[in-house]
Chain A
Amino acid sequence: MSAETTAIGAVAAPAAEEGFWGFSRAQLVGLAALVAALLIGPFLLYPVFLMKLLCFALFAMAFNLLIGYVGLLSFGHAAYFGMGGYIAGHAAKAWGLTPELSIIAGGLVAGLLGVAAGWLAIRRQGIYFAMITLALAQMVYFFCVQAPFTGGEDGIQAIPRGKLFGVIPLDPDMNMYWVVAAVFLLGFLLIHRIIHSPYGQVLKSIKENEPRAISLGYRTDDYKLLAFILSATLAGVAGATKSLVFGIATLTDVHWSMSGEVVLMTLVGGLGTVFGPLIGAGVIVGMQNYLAEMGAWVTVIQGVIFVLCVLAFRRGLVGELASLLKVKL
C-alpha cells in the first residue's frame, strides 16, 4: 500500500517526534475528544452498543497495526479475534477465572497462534501473504468447528461476566462498560506507543522499502513477526472482551467474513491513521445495527462500500479529513 504514503525520510530519526508522548497537536485534540466521548458516551447511548463498538474498534486498530504500519494485509484476523473469544469464554465458564485473567488468557493464546501463523506467513509478501493468512485462518475455523471445548455450531453460551479482581461484579452494564473502555484505551495507547517507538519507525521503513531496510542491517523478518504477534494478541484481547460482554462465543467470530469486516472497518476509517479504525468500526457496527433487519442486503452494502473505498476513497474518512485540515490524525 505504498501509493500515497509519506516519504522515506522519517526512517532515520526515530525519537524526534514533536508534541507530548509522540502525539501531534491534532492527535492530542483527538485523544481528548476520545476520552471525553468514552466518559459521556454511556449516558447518551446504549452501553452494550458502545461496548460492541469499542471491541471492534480495538480489533480494527490491531489489524491496522499490520496493514497501516508494516504494509502487511492479513486476511485471516478473525482467527485471533475468535480464538481469543473462545479461550476467554472457556476460561471464565469452565475454569471459573476472573474476567481480567480470562481476557489475558484469550490474548495470550491468540498471540501464540499469531507466533505460528506469522512465522509461516511472513515467508511471502503482498497478495501471497493475504492468501496464506486467509488459508491458515480457515484451518483455525475448521479446528473450532470440531474441537470439543468450542461447542461446535452452538458455541460457548452463558459465559459469566464474573467479578473484576474477584471483587467488583460486572453484571451491571455500566460496570462492564468501564472495564471495556479501560481495555480499549490501554490498547489504543499501547498501539500508539508501538508506532512511535524506534521499533515502530523500523516497521514503517519496512513498509516503505523493505530491501532498503534489509540493506541497512535490519532483520526485517523478526520485526514483521513481532508486529504480527502483537497484532494477533490485541485482536485476541478484543475478541475475549467481546465474548465476556455478550456472554457468548460462536463460529461467527472465526469465520472469514469477520476477517473481511475488519478489513472494511479499517479501510473506511483510513489505513495507517491512528483514529481511522475507531471511526471505521463506528460506521460499520452502527450500520449493522440500524440495518439489521435487511438481512443479506447488509452484505451487498458492505460490498458496495468496499468498492467505493478502493476506487474513490482510498485514504478513508480520517485520512481525507487529515489531508483536508493538513494535520496528522
Chain B
Amino acid sequence: MDEIFGIPLPLLFGQLLLGLINGAFYAMLSLGLAVIFGLLNIVNMAHGAQFMMGAFAAWMLLAWFGIGYWWALIIAPIIVAITGIILEKLFISRLYKLDHLYGLLLTFGLALIIEGIFRNEFGSSGLPYRIPPELSGAWDLGFMFMPVYRGWVVVAALVLCLATWLLIEKTRLGAYLRAATERAELVQAFGVNVPRMITLTYGFGVGLAAIGGVLAAPIYSVNPQMGSNLIIVVFAVVVIGGMGSIMGAIVTGFALGIVEGLTKVFWPEASATVIFVIMAIVLLARPAGLFGRA
C-alpha cells in the first residue's frame, strides 16, 4: 500500500507533519493570546512581532555572543518577556479602563514599531539559523523520513501547551489567575496583587510567543515579517476556538494545522484560505466559537 486516494503515502505523511508543526505554532500563539485576553481583556496584536523577536533573540545570542540553541531556548523568551513587561507597565496598563478596541490599536502600533525597527536593522531577507547538532539528521520510520528537529518541535510544543494548561487549571497560582479573570476586584479584595499579576501574565504570554519564535528559527528563515503573516491565521484560529478555554485553544491550534496540511495534499490552491473558510463556517454554525461561551 503505497498510496491512498491516489496520493503517495510519503507525500501525505510529509504534509501531515508540516501541518502538525504549523499546528504547534498556532496552538502556542493562540494559547498566549487566550491567556492574555483572559486577564487583560486586550487582543495582543503585537503577538506576532514578539514571536519574531524570540527568533531574532535566538539568532543574536548565537551570532553575537556564541550562545547556542539550548540556552537560547531559555534566555530568549526571558528577554522578550521582560520587554513585554516594560511595554505593559509603560503603555498597556493605561488603557484598562477604556474600550478594549484601544488596546488592540495600541498593540498594533507597537507591532508596527517593532517590525519597522527590525526591518531597518536586518533587512527583509531572512537570516539562517542552524539546527543544533543534537537535533539534526532524520529518523527512518519505514514509511517516511522524519527530520529529528521537526519531531522535536511538535513534542516540545505539546509539552509546553500541556504544562501551561496544568499551571492554569491545577495550581494555586492558576486558581488566582482564573478567579481574577472572572472578577478582578474581588480577588484584589482578598489581598492578591492583581496589577502585578496582570503584568506577569502579559510577560508570560509574550514569553510563550517568544519560545515559539526560538523553536521556529531553524525551520523558517529568521525575518521581520515571520510573525505578522502567522498571527492573522492565529486570529482566525482564536475565532474558531473561542478564547474561553485553554484546552480549546490547544486542540483547535493543532487540529487546524493538520487540516491545513491535508488541504495542501488534496487541494493545494485552497491551503492558504482553508482556515478562513472554516472560520466562516464556524461563525455560521456556532458564533461563539467551538469552545467559547456566548
Contact = CB atoms under 8 A, between A and B. Distances in A.
B109 A300 contact: no
Contacts of A298: 116
Nearest to A314: B102
Nearest to A130: B104
Given A135-B235, A307-B109, A295 B120 contact: yes
Interface of B: 37, 42-43, 91, 94-95, 98-102, 104-106, 108-117, 119-120, 228, 232-233, 235-236, 238-239, 269, 272-273, 276-277, 279-280, 283-284, 287
A311 B284 contact: no
A305 B109 contact: yes
Contact of A127 (B104, B119, B280): B104
A296 B223 CA distance: 14
A219 interface: no
A256 B108 CA distance: 11
B235 A131 contact: yes
Residue picked from A2, A131, A305, most chain B C-beta under 10 Å:
A131
A306 interface: yes
Main SS class of interface, A = helix
Contact of A260 (B91, B100, B108): B108
27 contacts: A1-B99, A1-B102, A3-B98, A73-B101, A127-B37, A127-B42, A127-B43, A130-B104, A131-B239, A135-B232, A135-B276, A138-B276, A146-B272, A260-B108, A263-B108, A300-B112, A300-B120, A303-B109, A306-B105, A306-B106, A306-B108, A307-B91, A307-B113, A310-B102, A311-B95, A311-B106, A314-B102
A302 B116 CA distance: 9
A5 to B, nearest CB: 10
A146 B116 contact: no
A322 B246 CA distance: 45
Contacts of B276: 135-136, 138-139
Contact of A130 (B101, B106, B113, B236): B101
Interface string A111-137: 000000000110110111011101110
A136 B280 contact: yes
Contacts of A120: 280, 283-284
